[in-house]
Amino acid sequence: MSDTQRLWTDYAACWSADPADRTAALGAVAVDEVAYRDPGTEVGNLTELAAYMAGFAGAFPGHRFRIDEVLEHHDRSLARWTQLDAQGRTASTGISSARHDEDGRLADITGFFLPA
């Protein structure tokens, strides 16, 4: 597994992390001023992103994300992912792109949901 694949896998785990651990786990993979956007929101720092993730976890109990593929070059990456329900069935799929900072952490993330 590449470092970038591991980074995306660790980031994906933040979405279903224990609330007490989420912000610290997110800080390990993203910069403090991380920008995040998807069709439903746009946030500009770790605290806001952690709160958005908490809302997701509340709306989709037991769901988690699996990173299926990562492409990377220069300071950019693209991750193809699957949202799995509590029974491990596919709930949705999507892709996310990111710009990385000089240390490799996620600095600017954009998520897209693919049509069913």
Q: What is the CATH number of the domain that holds 60?
A: 3.10.450.50
The 10s digit of each residue's pLDDT in 103-114 is 999 999 999 999
Query: By three-state DSSP, how is residue 74 classified?
Result: coil
Torsion, CA 65, CA 90, CA 70, CA 52, rounded to 10: -30
The percent helix, strand, coil of the chain (3-state, each to 5) is 30, 45, 25
| Nearest in space to 65 (alpha carbons), one of 97, 18, 17 | 17
Q: What is the pLDDT of residue 116?
A: 77
Q: How many domains does the chain have?
A: 1
Distance of CA 106 to the CA centre of its chain: 9
Spatial distance between the Cα atoms of 2 and 75, rounded to a whole number of angstroms: 14
Predicted confidence at residue 1, as pLDDT, reads: 82
* Nearest residue to 69 via CA among 3, 2, 5, 113: 5
Domain that holds residue 90: 3-113
Q: Provide the pLDDT for residue 84.
A: 98
Average confidence (pLDDT) per 10 residues, the chain, 116 residues: 95 96 97 97 97 96 97 97 97 98 97 92
User: Which residue, 91, 22, 18, is CA-closest to 60?
Assistant: 91
